[in-house]
Structures are given as structure tokens and as C-alpha cells.
Amino acid sequence: MGLRRSIRKQTQVSIRLATHLLSEESPNSNIVFSPLSIHVVLSLMAAGSEGKTLDQLLGFLKAKTTDDLNALSSRLVSLIFADGSLSGGPMLSFANGVWVDKTLLVKPSFKQVLDTVYKASSNQVDFQNKAVKVPKKVNLWTKKETNGLIKQVLPAGAVNNLTRLIFANALYFKGSWSEKFKKSKTKEYDFHLLDGNKVQVPFMTSMNYQYVREYDDFKVLGLPYFQGQDERKFTMYIYLPNAKDGLKSLVEKISSTSDFFDHHIPHQQVKIGQFLIPKFKISFGFEASEMLKKLGLVLPFNDGDGLTEMVDSGQVVDPHAGSNGG
């Protein structure tokens, strides 16, 4: 499977995850999460699976083989999410970690995939006797990899003495806008909430030309990040429904339209009138494995027998996966 096709499939999975989160898990709250992080962790699990568990993972990720998943993940880890700060671009950290019970022997073939494809740190811990201490170790790793932005990926009590394996991913991104907003022009305006109420929040503004395109019932804004000598171009895209209560219908349109993002991205800067963007800070946490089970991905979390390509035969693993964003 070619890289472009793999990315298209990954985008479809991301949209499915986002749609479920927005409509089922937290329909009335702000949400921030990294679908790529979930995709990479599931790809890593697929590399250590076989039988029906592997088939379910491949079906969920819309891939034919683990080679396809490994090829995409390798490109993501080594190229797309490589740190660009030394070239004047965004500071990036995309780290994978695996915590295995000390009684289990990781297969050399799986260890090679961990090291070479996913650049994952591998750690042995004592789940059977010191399970209560494991979340702290995972959270310290997360805090370090995200420069202190995300302090907790596993809450206390998230694992127990039956847990044998933890997969974690930490993503950190810090960039500057290509065209910065002046603090002196930041003012308070009304921000409309999903429940119909409104609150006063600070809005940034600018008179510069912007990457904006308007469609029938929504608008799209592109805010490029400063790239310096970095050859990659990162842009934040904001999709805004025209109706104050139009977020749900916009999400439904995104999820039901084939290759939606390919056809709804502004490519030219245009002159606009009033231009306001709210300053925001969002934190959101959820149990990824529980969400994935609701979406039909059950076997990797309920049937440790299917993860036999990770550890020596005869050993059963009980995996745990969680996600937290800030």
C-alpha cells in the first residue's frame, strides 16, 4: 500500500474516532486528542498479534498487513514527527513506550520492531507485586517526553496485578505562527457555547491577509506555523460552522464525505473583514481502550491469547492503553 493511500486510510480512522468522541463520549465538552497516537499504538499492538486479534486490528485500522502499518508508522516517527527546532521550525517530540511485566520474555522479533520501526522505549516492571507504583513511572515518562505539558496519562488504580503490558504514546508540539498576533489587539468578545449560553473570552485579531475559504454552511481557516529552514510545513486548520449550533451537523458532514479534508483546505490568502480567534487552553482525558471496545475493537483488550507475537508462547498478556491530552 502506497504512503498516500495509507495516510488516507489513517485519516478515515481518525475521523471515526473523533466523531465517536464528539457524539458519544463527550458531546457537551471540549475535546483534544491525538488520533495519530492511538493509530501508532494500535499498529504496535498489531505487530505483536496473530489470528483473530490481528484480523480485528487490521480491519479497524483499514490495513491489509502489519507491513503496511509498520511502513506508515516508521515514516511518521522518523520524518513527520522529527524535531524541527534545530532548523528553526516547530519543536516536536513523538515518543512510544512499552512497559512489560518482569516475568515475561519479549520475543526478539517484536523487540526489533519496537527498536527500529517505532523507536519505542522498552521497560520491565513488577506488575504482580508493585502495580500501584507503575502509573507513576509511566506518568513521569510522559511528563518528560512532553516537556511537562502532560503530567498524567494513567490515573492511580488504572492497572492492577493482572496487568502484564502497557502501551503509551506521548506527543509534544510547540510552534510559532508564521504571522504572530499582537497582544495589544487582543480584546474580549462573546464566545457561544453548545448549550446556547455565551461567555466573554479574549480574542486575537489581525488585519493581515489570511488563508480562509468559505463554503455553504462553514468556513475554514489555515494558520501556518513558522518553519525556518525546516522543509516540512505545519498548519493548524480551524473549521467553523456558520450556525451557532452547527457543530454536530458539521462533524456529521466530515464523517460522511469521502476525502473531506482533501477538498476543504484553503490554499490562497485573501483579504477579510473582522477576524477573531479565541485564545484557548484545553485539557481532556479519556480511557482509550474502553472507547475502542465500544467501536468494536475488543479482542486486543479482552483476549491476551492473541498477542502471542510479543512474548514467548505460553504466556498470556493483559494489555492496557490510555490517552490524555493537554
pLDDT along the chain (326 residues), means of 10: 83 92 78 89 93 95 95 89 92 91 91 93 93 93 86 85 88 90 92 87 91 95 95 94 90 91 94 86 74 92 76 59 48
**What CATH number has the domain spanning 3-175+282-313?**
3.30.497.10
Residue with cell 479534508: 261
Residues paired with 171 in a beta bridge: 94
Residue with cell 510545513: 233
Residue with cell 484480523: 55
What does the domain layout of the chain look like in residue ranges? 3-175+282-313, 183-278
CATH architecture assignment, domain 183-278: Roll (2.30)
Q: Left if phi > 0, otherwise alpha if psi is -120 to 50, otherwise beta: which for 74? A: alpha
Q: Read out DSSP for 97-139? A: EEEEETT--B-HHHHHHHHHTS--EEEEE-HHHHGGGHHHHHH
Strands (E), 102-246: 121-125, 165-174, 187-192, 198-205, 210-214, 218-224, 235-241
User: In this predicted structure, what is the pLDDT of residue 303?
Assistant: 57
pLDDT digits (tens, 9 = 90+) for 270-295: 998 878 999 877 766 677 888 899 99
- 135, 296 Cβ separation under 8 angstroms: no
